[in-house]
Amino acid sequence: MLEFISGISVVCFVASYAVALACEVSRLAFRSSVRGAALVGFAAAGLVAQGLFLGWRAVNAAALPLSSPFDWYLLAAWLLAAGSLWLTLTLPRTPIGLFLLPVVLLLIGAAQLSSREPFPQSPATQIWGAIHGLFNLAASVSVALGAVAGIMWLIQAGRLHRKQPPLRGFRMPSLERLANVTSRTLAVAAWTAAAGFVSGIVLNAVNRQRGLLETVPWTDPVVLRMGVLVAWLIIADALAYAARRRPGAARLTAWLSLVSLAVLTLSIVWGVFGTTRHGMPPAGSSESAAEPSEAAP
């Protein structure tokens, strides 16, 4: 069994998600009585394989799944894949995977380009590190969910403005539900991103005090991109809140969610290709000679 689990690779669950996505796309082309089962089967297989893969890494690295950028992206992808599967089961006529699975695959792609080396850890920083990683994870997942709901809102609203009935086998949730999801996820994203940023500052202070990790300067690319993301999310949430009782508030919130995803994506790209002192051992230690590792957003 252990041999089987250790043999699971990223390709296994990427292939499963890709087939599930292909099943979703085929809804637009033809009807099928077995597609639903195939879609759920492949999505579930991918989810299980990815879960085992992450579990295996956590056990072998003797660290939390958030302990490296690679694991962080994979955990975010896993959460979104789980959400996609759950929504597919509860709303079988809604092509939720068509919107969520591409995000899942992009996150796995980002993981592949990221470092697999765990951040140096100590008991003192482990708790703050976990808090920092979890808040950032919640913010990113919320942004992705909100953007998906926002895209669906815009598509649904476009069809309704053109007086078109729902496409067969492609029924979207109501505008009311999508608007609720969009505004709530935007709020959750803003607050969790802010909490992630603050916990990062605390973590940095603890590291500096105890000399455990390299101190991350305010001008570090990770700090800058996280600062931009947090600032944008707070502004977006404030705009959505201010417009909530005005005509067209739902459309504005949908667009704000999409822009939030764009900002998050730029932030990820910046993180993947940029250099940073984030998560590095202190200068002069034996580990400081290692290649710079990019960090979780």
Partner 1 sequence: MTLALVGGTHRTVPLDLRERLAFSAEQAAAALMRFRDRFPGREGVLLSTCNRVEFYAAGETGSEPPPAEQLVAFLAECRGIEAVQLGPVLARERDEGVARHLFSVASGLDSMVLGEPQILAQVKQAWALAQDSRTAGPLTGGMFQAALRTAKRVATETALGRERVSIPSVAVADFASAVFERFDDKHVLLLGAGKMAAETLRYLREAGARDVTVVNRTAGRAVELAARLGGRPGRFDELVAELAAADLVVSTTGATEPVITLDAFRQVELRRHGRPLVVLDLAVPRDFDPRIGERPGVWLYSVDDLAAACDANRKSRQREMPAAWAIIEEETSRFMGDLHHRSTAPVIEQLRAGWSETGEAELDRLFRRLPDLDDAQRAEIRQAFDRYAAKLLHPPLASLRSESRAGPPHGLLDALKRLFDLKE
| Contact pick of 29, 34, 60, 163 for partner 1 (by CB under 8 A) | 163
Which of 9, 28, 86, 244 contacts partner 1 by CB under 8 A?
A: 244
Told to check if 165 binds partner 1 by CB under 8 A, we report yes
29 binds partner 1 (CB under 8 A): no
Residue 177: CB atoms within 10 Å = 15
Q: How far apart are CA 11 and CA 104, in angstroms?
A: 13
Q: Applying CB under 8 A, which of residues 11, 168, 242, 290 lies at the interface with partner 1? A: 168
Q: Is 246 in the site for partner 1 (CB under 8 A)?
A: yes
In the bound state with partner 1, the residue whose beta carbon lies nearer, of 166 and 217, is 166
Q: How many residues interact with partner 1 (rule CB under 8 A)?
A: 27
DSSP the chain: -HHHHHT--HHHHHHHHHHHHHHHHHTTT---SSHHHHHHHHHHHHHHHHHHHHHHHHHHHTS-TTSSHHHHHHHHHHHHHHHHHHHHHHSTTS-HHHHHHHHHHHHHHHHHTS--SPPP--HHHHHHHHHHHHHHHHHHHHHHHHHHHHHHHHHHHHHHHTTPPPBTTBPPPPHHHHHHHHHHHHHHHHHHHHHHHHHHHHHHHHHHHHT-SPPPPTTSHHHHHHHHHHHHHHHHHHHHHHTTTSTTHHHHHHHHHHHHHHHHHHHHHHHHHS---TTPPPTTSGGGGSPP-----
Q: 60, 164, 219, 286: which one contacts partner 1 (CB under 8 A)? A: 164
User: Which residue in the set 88, 125, 156, 257 belongs to the binding site for partner 1 (CB under 8 A)?
Assistant: 156
Sole residue written with tokens 């007086």: 163
**CB neighbours of 128 closer than 8 A, spacing ≥ 6?**
199, 202, 203, 206
Pick the closer one to partner 1 by CB: 210 or 244: 244
Q: Rounded to the nearest whole angstrom, what is the least distance from the CB of residue 175 to partner 1 in the complex?
A: 5
The verdict on 9 binding partner 1 (CB under 8 A) reads no
> Is the Cβ of residue 186 or residue 295 nearer to partner 1 in the bound state?
186
| Binding status of residue 105 toward partner 1 by CB under 8 A | no
Query: Which of 243, 255, 281, 288 is close enough to bind partner 1 by CB under 8 A?
Result: 243
176 binds partner 1 (CB under 8 A): yes
Query: Would you count residue 174 as binding partner 1 (CB under 8 A)?
Result: yes
Tell me how far apart the alpha carbons of residues 14 and 38 are, in angstroms, rounded to a whole number.
Answer: 16
Segment contacting partner 1 (CB under 8 A): 8-16, 126-134, 156-164, 234-242? Answer: 156-164
When asked if residue 58 is in the footprint of partner 1 (CB under 8 A), the reply is no
From the list 63-71, 102-110, 230-238, 247-255, the region that binds partner 1 by CB under 8 A is: 247-255
Task: Tell me if 295 contacts partner 1 by CB under 8 A.
Answer: no
Q: Is 90 in the site for partner 1 (CB under 8 A)?
A: no
Residues that bind partner 1 (CB under 8 A): 31, 33, 156, 159-161, 163-166, 168-169, 172-177, 243-251
